[in-house]
Structures are given as structure tokens and as C-alpha cells.
Amino acid sequence: MPILPTVPADGALRPEVARIRGVSKKFTIRKDSSIKERVVTLGRAGRRHKKEFWALRDVDLDIYAGETIGLIGHNGSGKSTLLKVIGGIVDPTSGTVEERGRLAALLELGAGFHPDLTGRENVFLNASVLGLSREETEAQFDDIVAFASIGDFIDTQVKFYSSGMYVRLAFAVAVHTDPDVLLVDEVLAVGDEAFQRKCMDRIREFQQQGRTIILVTHSLDQVVELCGRCVLLHQGKVLFDGKPSTAVARFRDLLEERRVAERDAAEPQVERPQSAVTGVSAHVIGKEEGSALQPEDDLEIRLTVTSTGLQTWGCRVQIDDTMGQKMFVTGTDWLDTPMPPLDGEGEVAFVLKKPALGGGKYFVNATLIDGDGNDVHNIMQATSFNVEFDPRATGYLRIDVEGSASGSR
């Protein structure tokens, strides 16, 4: 395929390894699953027993040699379908996909393995599908078995393998085919920690060798750590294509919007108590609404409260990470903030000075308390804010750090 070197967003002169133009993929979902049901519905109401689903709609992407790209999005957003289209496993309904180089796809657990064949036989079968000759597979065979840690089970039928053995052998074959492009779909979540570290080490080795990796994963921290580019898919369309930290922040905003919508739809409408927190906001001081917190920024958390008559009261706020882990708690009572009697509506503001939080999304819980510190009303995950990722480190905290090295000459 005559694809010439082009200049991607990072400015480096590199050839394209895949060019995707106007790709859409439609699936037909049938509601009559059995043959009997299909015969009964044939010719009268058949259309009502099937539904069209567009997994991808008008996707355009240019993938360059040496990139590590993360594909993220909701379940059903089209990530796995796009990977299968790139890998040639699924044909698009419309659009074109042009590729160059040897491609190895690790799309599903044990895909391409025959359960009645032994591990040894499946290695040769799968390697041939991925483009290796028998001589090339024989030269790599010992390394494949050693990487997979299969041992004596290599001559056992794979239908007797555990899920971990399946994925270890499948991954070992894929990475030993000397691929120019490696497609990985969530399978790295299977296997023990030692094997996952081994997989990550091999992926980093591929990155150093200048190979192209396209990775589908729900581990957003892994995307920021490994990828130089991230594509966010939403309802089959490319919603964002660019910096991983920005893509992850936008995806977490989508997740939060869906969570709030589902919560509001599921929760019954209850009468608000006489004394309550009625509004919570969090914003970076001096910046536009929704801006991510930077290292030198201050964050204001503002609560609106109402009461028919609280003489002594206060408020507390708690900041949680995406896993619900408590990051920070403070309150007007702990800060010795004077609180006037509340009869009607009032506001309380907390200004966090240059909070040293690591990159990611955080949630704010708000509580109205009485004069004895007892909870009067609280709202869990009342609002959220984003913190810009630090390119030098990951974790819960942002710490200014310097590195140095020395050695003998």
C-alpha cells in the first residue's frame, strides 16, 4: 500500500500504518433467538423482531508508526468493534481501512485457539494465522513457551487450560510474531500481577523499538501512563482525539453525567428537609467554568444551604477520588469559622490553596451540621472537578521533585 511519510500532530516525520476513512459498522440485533421463533415471525412481523445497531459511525483516524494509542469509552461505544475493523476481523458496513506492515491482534481470550488441539499445536496454528512460517515459529517456540510459563502443559489440549493459561499463551504468541502493529483488547486484565507486569514490560520494549500499539482498556491510569495519544469514542463516534490526560478527563465527565442521570432517574422524589444543603459547586479561581486545576491554582468549593432557623450550625466538605477513597476533609467548625444564625438561605465558601492533588477526577461530598457537629443533611458526590495530570509522575499527590544521577568515568 503506497502510504507516504506524513507529519502527525507531534511534528515527527513518520509513515502511516493505518488510514481509516468514513468507517461505519451496523449490526442487526434479533429478538427471536430460536429457529422456531424466526419461522413464526417470518413474513408478518419480522421487522419488529430485529433492531439495527450502529456500533461505529463515520470514523476517521490516521495511525502513525511508533504511536501507542489508547481507545476509551463507555461499554458499547465501539472500541472493540473499531479494533476488529482495524485488525481485519470485521468488515465495515461503509468506509475504507488501509494498512501496512505485519499486524498481531490480541482481541479476545484464546481467539484463534482450537480447544481440541494441544498448546504446541495451537502455537503453530495461531502463529501461521499471524503470518509466521513454520521455520520462524520453530525458532521462536522456546521463547514463546518460556514467556507463557506453560511448562509441561504445552502438550495438553487447551480446553483443559485455565483462563490465565489461555491468555498467557495467546499473548506470548502475539508478541513473538515480530508485529509492526499490536492490537490489544482488555485481555491484559486477565492473569496474575506477575504476568501483567511481564506484559507491560514487553509493551514498553515494543515502544522503545518504535512499534505501533493500539490498546483498548478500562484502566484510565494505564492509558495516561502508557499512551502518547488517546481516542475517546462515544456512541460509535470519535468524540476526542489527542492528549491522553484530556481524553481521560472528558471521559470521566461523561461517566459522571451518566451517573447523575441514572441516580436522578432511580431515586424517588423526596421532600427536602427544612435544613439542607441545596447547592454545591467547585471551580478553579480566576478561570473558566470546568477548567482543570493546575499546580498553582486555588480551588473554591461553595455550598448553598437553607434553614427555617438554625442558631448554631456549620458545614463540612470531603473530597474523594474516583474509587471513593477519602482524600481530604475540612469543616467550618474545625476552621473556627464564625457562623451567623441561619434563617433562610446562606452560603459557605472553602478556598483550598494550591491543593497538591494528583491528576484525575475528584468528587465533593457536602454536609450541613448542627452546633454539636451532628449531621443534619448531606449530599454524596454533590459535584466534581478535574486536576491536570503531572507528566512527571502519577499517584494521589502532586509533589515537586528533582532527579539527579552520578556515575564513574
Residue range 103-122, pLDDT digits in tens: 877 776 556 678 889 999 98
- Please say whether the structural domain 5-34+49-254 has been given the CATH code 3.40.50.300: yes
Mean pLDDT of the 41-53 span: 63
Cα distance between residue 183 and residue 173, in whole Å: 13
Q: Nearest-CA neighbor of 119 among 82, 85, 149?
A: 149
**Under DSSP, is residue 335 helix (H, G, I), strand (E, B) or coil?**
coil
Query: Residue type for 12, please?
Result: A
DSSP symbols for 226-295:
H-SEEEEEETTEEEEEE-HHHHHHHHHHHHHHHHHHHHHHHS---PPPSSEEEEEEEEETTS-TTPPBPT
Q: Which residue has the cell 482481541?
A: 107
Contact at 8 Å (CB) between 98 and 3? yes
What does the pLDDT look like over 331-361, one tens digit per residue? Answer: 999 999 989 988 889 999 999 999 999 988 9
| Beta bridge partner(s), residue 380 | none
Question: H or E element: which one contains 219?
Answer: none
Domain 273-387 belongs to what architecture? Distorted Sandwich (2.70)
pLDDT digits (tens, 9 = 90+) for 365-394: 999 998 888 999 999 889 999 998 888 887
User: The cell 465558601 sits on which residue?
Assistant: 349
Q: What is the mean pLDDT of the chain?
A: 84
What is the strand order of the sheet 212-216 is part of? 103-106, 181-185, 212-216, 68-73, 229-234, 237-242
What values do phi and psi take at 241, rounded to 5? -145, 110
Min mean pLDDT across 152-156, 225-229, 259-263 is at: 259-263
Judge whether residue 306 has pLDDT over 90: yes
At residue 206, what are phi and psi to the nearest 5 degrees? -60, -40
Domain ranges of the chain: 5-34+49-254, 273-387
Is the per-residue pLDDT at 5 higher than 60?
A: no
- For 178, list phi and psi in degrees, rounded to 5: 55, 55
Predicted confidence (pLDDT) at residue 8 exceeds the cutoff of 60: no
Question: pTM, whole model, 2 decimals?
Answer: 0.72
pLDDT, position 3: 41
